[in-house]
A and B are shown apart, each in its own frame.
Chain A
Amino acid sequence: MSSVIIARRSVSSDRASVGILPAIVAALVVGVFVYIRVIPLDSIEARSLEVPLILNAVWEHIQLVLVSTLLTITIGVPLGVALTRKGARRIGGLILVGANAGQAIPSIGVLVLLAILFGVGFWMAVIALLVYALLPVLRNTMVGIQQVDRAVIDAGRGMGMSTRQILSTIELPLSIPVMLAGIRVALILNVGVATLAAFTNAGGLGSIISAGIALNRMPVLLVGSVLTIALALSIDWLAGIAERLLRPRGI
C-alpha cells in the first residue's frame, strides 16, 4: 500500500515541475515572435530575422549540442567505467586532472585554437564542445560507480557473481542517477558554449547573437539570446524527464 502512495506523490510533484518549465519556454518563444512582429524593423533587422533563418539557426544549434553530447557520453562513460576498474585507479586521478584542465580552459580559447590548427566548421565546434563537456560526464561516471555501497558489492561477490556481473547488475544500475546528472550538466553547458561556435563558422544561435552585436541591432541580439535561453530550458526539461524515466525503481 505504502509503495502506491509514494509513487503517487512523486508523480504529482513531477507533474507540477513538468508543467511550469514548458509554460516559461512557450512564453519566451511566443514573446519573441510577437515582439518582432510588433516593433518596426529596418531592412537589416528584417533580413536577419526571417523565420526560416531563425529556425535553421535553432536546428544547427540543436545538432551541435546533440552530436557533441552523444560523443561525450560515448567517450566519457566507458572511460569513466574503465578508470574505476582494478589496476586503472591510479591513472584515473591523472585523467581527471586532464579533464579538469579541459574545463578550466576558456571554451572560446579551445575553439579558436582548434580553428587555427585544423580549420573551421561544424566538426571543429563539436570537438571543442566535447573537450569542454567531458569532465562532468567522466567525473560523474567515476563518482557514481565509486559511491555504490560496498556491502552490496560484497554480497554480490559472496553470491558468486563475476566481476563483469557485478558491473552490469550492481555497479552500473546503481550509478545511473549520478551519471545522468553529469550528462544533464554536459547538455546544458553545451547549449551555452555552442553559441560561441558561430565564431568558427559552425552556425547556431550564436550567429544571430554575433550578427546582432556586429550590426548593432538590439532586436536581433535579443532574439538570439532569448531563443538560446529557451533552448537551454527545454533541453534541461527533457533531460529531467529522461532522468526520472531511466532511474532504476527502488532507489
Chain B
Amino acid sequence: MSDQPGCGPDTMIFLDRVSKRYPDQPHDAVASLSMEIKRGEFVVLVGPSGCGKTTTLRMMNRLVEPSDGRIWIDGKDVTHVDVDHLRRGIGYVIQQIGLLPHLTIAENVSLVPKLLGTNKVKRLRRADELLDMVGLEPSTFAARYPRQLSGGQQQRVGVARALAADPPIMLMDEPFGAVDPIAREKLQMEFLSLQRQIRKTIVLVTHDIDEALLLGDRIAIFGEGSRLAQFDTPLKILTNPADDFVRDFVGAGAAVRRLSLLTVGDVIDRSTPLQDYLQSTVDIHPEESVHRALEQVLAAHAQGIAVTLPGADVRFIALQDLLMAAAQPTVATS
C-alpha cells in the first residue's frame, strides 16, 4: 500500500504536500506541507496564531478539505474516501469541548459507538469504563447533564467521548486551553499517564510551548505561512533550535526547561567515580530527571548525587556539573 515515499509501515499519518487556499485570501493558509507521524507517537503542533497549525490538524480528519496534496492514514490514501466514515475512526477533542447539552454524560460518551451501530447495553458499559478511565465516577456522573459539570470535568468527558470507539488516532485542538491553570496541569499529567496505557497516535495543537514540551514525543514548530520551522524531540528543540525563530519561540527559559527533560543518565559523562571521602551525596536513579536531582541535592544541602549504574558501578556528579548540564548542551541524545 505504501507506494508513497516517507510512508513506511510505522507511519500512521502522512501529509503529502498538502495545501489549503481560501478564496479571497492572498496567501495559502497551509502551503505544501509534508509531515509524517508514526504509530503511537504523541506529536504536538505549536506556533503563533495564524500559522496554520489548526488548519493542518483539521485537514487530518478533513474538517478542512485540502486544496492540494494527499492525506494518508495507516497506509491508505484517505483524501477522497467517505468523510463521515473516516471521522468515526478518529477521535476529536476541541477546546470548546462541544458536549451535546441535551444529552447525559453517558449518552455523550457513547455517541460514536451509536453512530457505528453498537448496541445500547455495550455502549453504556463502555461509557462507564471510559468515565472510570478519565477519573469520573460513573455512578455519580453518567446520568448528569453537561452543564452540571465543571469545565475540567467536561473536558474529561470530551476525552472519554473521543476514546469511545477506541480509535487509533486522536486529534486534539487546544484541549486544555479553556481550563483554569491548576486543573490544566492536573489534566495534562493525567492525560500523559493515560496515553502511556492506551498508546494512541495523538496530534495535539497548542500555542503554549510549555505544554508542547511537556506532552510531545515530537514537536512541530510552525512559523509564518505554515512553514514547518522544526519538527523534532523536545530535547533537540531546546538544545539545537533550527533557527532564530525557533530559539525566540522557545524563549529564555529554555535552559531551565531542559533540566526536566534530561535524565541523570543523559549527563552521566560528567560524572567521576564516587570517592569515599565525599560523604555528602543523595542517591538518585539514572532515570530521574536532572531537575528532580537538583531539587533533592538542594534540599539535602548535599555536594552532589550518587548514581548507581548497572553493574553496581557508583558514580558521582557534583552540583556544579548538574547545573552545567543545563547551561551547556553538549549531550548527544539518542
Q: How many A-B residue pairs have CB under 8 A?
A: 78
Interface-central residue, B83, B85, B145, B171, by most chain A CB under 10 Å: B145
Using a CB-CB cutoff of 8 Å, which residues 105-144 of chain B contact chain A?
A: 111-112, 115, 144
Interface-side segment among A29-37, A74-82, A148-156, A206-214: A148-156
CA of A157 to CA of B94, assembled, Å: 12
A158 cross-chain contacts in B, Cβ below 8 A: 61, 63, 87, 92, 94, 171
CA of A250 to CA of B102, assembled, Å: 5
- Bitwise interface map of A from 206 to 231 toward B, beta carbon under 8 Å scored 1, else 0: 00000000000000000000000000
Q: Is the CB of A159 within 8 A of B146?
A: no
Q: Is the CB of B94 within 8 A of A154?
A: yes
Whether, in the assembled complex, B86 has its beta carbon less than 8 Å from a beta carbon of chain A, the answer is: yes
Interface-central residue, B102, B111, B144, B161, by most chain A CB under 10 Å: B102
* Residues of B within 8 A of A (CB-CB), count: 31
A160 cross-chain contacts in B, Cβ below 8 A: 83-89, 112, 115
Q: B17 to chain A: closest CB distance in Å?
A: 24
- Bitwise interface map of B from 234 to 266 toward A, beta carbon under 8 Å scored 1, else 0: 000000000000000000000000000000000
A170 cross-chain contacts in B, Cβ below 8 A: 100
CA of A105 to CA of B63, assembled, Å: 45
Whether, in the assembled complex, A10 has its beta carbon less than 8 Å from a beta carbon of chain B, the answer is: no
Q: Is the CB of B103 within 8 A of A159?
A: no
Q: B147 to chain A: closest CB distance in Å?
A: 7
- Bitwise interface map of A from 133 to 167 toward B, beta carbon under 8 Å scored 1, else 0: 00000000000000001011111111111100100
Whether, in the assembled complex, A174 has its beta carbon less than 8 Å from a beta carbon of chain B, the answer is: yes
B100 cross-chain contacts in A, Cβ below 8 A: 152, 155-156, 169-170, 174
| Chain B interface SS verdict (over half) | mixed
Whether, in the assembled complex, A119 has its beta carbon less than 8 Å from a beta carbon of chain B, the answer is: no
CA of A2 to CA of B111, assembled, Å: 25
Q: B55 to chain A: closest CB distance in Å?
A: 14
CA of A248 to CA of B104, assembled, Å: 11
When A160-B85, A251-B102 are in contact, do A2 and B92 touch as well, CB less than 8 Å?
A: no
Whether, in the assembled complex, A15 has its beta carbon less than 8 Å from a beta carbon of chain B, the answer is: no
A residues sitting closer than 8 Å to B (CB atoms) are 2-3, 149, 151-162, 165, 169-170, 173-174, 248-251
3 tightest A-B CB contacts, nearest first: A155-B98, A158-B92, A151-B96
Can you report 27 residue pairs joining A to B where beta carbons are below 8 Å apart?
Answer: A2-B148, A3-B148, A149-B98, A151-B94, A151-B97, A152-B99, A154-B94, A154-B98, A155-B98, A155-B99, A158-B87, A158-B92, A159-B87, A159-B88, A160-B83, A160-B86, A160-B115, A161-B111, A162-B84, A165-B115, A174-B100, A174-B101, A249-B102, A249-B145, A250-B145, A251-B101, A251-B147
Given contacts A149-B98, A159-B88, A250-B103, 9 further A-B contacts (CB under 8 A): A152-B98, A152-B99, A158-B63, A159-B92, A160-B83, A160-B115, A170-B100, A249-B102, A250-B147
